[in-house]
Chain A
């Protein structure tokens, strides 16, 4: 099984300031087709999860460009360039290279 590890657990951020979340996988997420199936999921309080980023860096439809993803192999990062109030919630990295597994989540909150 692929284990996903996220840091930090919590990220207090000032409005308008950047935030960064790291995710590490226990093995490479590069699949035999050459693609890397690493996604980022946002879950606002009281809401279902929502796809933000797929295949490392592709923003899903309707996702603001202040969200960006990067990384390769086993190390990945989600960055929010300027945090807005609506960004408060829990963020999960997720791999679908082999089955599906999630990181433990990072709570983004306003200082």
Chain B
């Protein structure tokens, strides 16, 4: 079964850091570009970042550029999102998704990040 499982979320103070992980299984992880997408409570979906299949190319939304770093370990079939200088507006459920040449799937359950003092 093709699936992704996000982890690493939690409560963090403003200005703090957190690293999210996304464990992929059921497909050849190293063949696919991956994205992080987030959803603030009661709001819509917002794209955060993308990484190409070998990790050599990354792109970020303006709202997180300079604060977040996307990376991957193809040997471990795992995607990461290192988040620093966190703000209240970064509070959201974070999803990792596979980019399969036009179909963006699967979607995991996501991991909740809460930035609050």
A69-93 to B contact mask, C-beta < 8 Å, 1/0: 0000000000000000000001010
B45, B50, B105: the one within 8 Å of A92 (CB): B45
A20 at the interface (CB under 8 A from B): no
The CA-CA distance from A49 to B106 in the complex, in Å, is 9
B4-46 to A contact mask, C-beta < 8 Å, 1/0: 0000000000000000000000000000000101000000111
Judge whether A48 and B108 touch: CB under 8 Å: yes
The CA-CA distance from A35 to B51 in the complex, in Å, is 21
> In the complex, what residues of A have CB within 8 A of residue B95's CB?
48-49
> In the complex, what residues of A have CB within 8 A of residue B105's CB?
51, 60
Q: Which positions 81-117 of chain B face chain A at CB distance < 8 Å?
A: 95, 99, 102-110
Given contacts A49-B95, A102-B47, A105-B44, A37 and B35 within 8 Å (CB-CB): no
Q: Which positions 53-111 of chain A face chain B at CB distance < 8 Å?
A: 54-55, 58, 60, 90, 92, 94, 96, 99-105
Judge whether B103 and A100 touch: CB under 8 Å: no
Judge whether A51 and B102 touch: CB under 8 Å: no
Nearest chain A residue, comparing its CB with the CB of B105: A51
Judge whether B46 and A94 touch: CB under 8 Å: no
> In the complex, what residues of A have CB within 8 A of residue B37's CB?
100
> In the complex, what residues of B have CB within 8 A of residue A35's CB?
102
> In the complex, what residues of B have CB within 8 A of residue A105's CB?
44-45
Closest 4 CB pairs of A and B: A54-B103, A100-B47, A51-B105, A102-B45
Which residues of B does A touch, CB under 8 Å? 35, 37, 44-47, 50, 59, 95, 99, 102-110
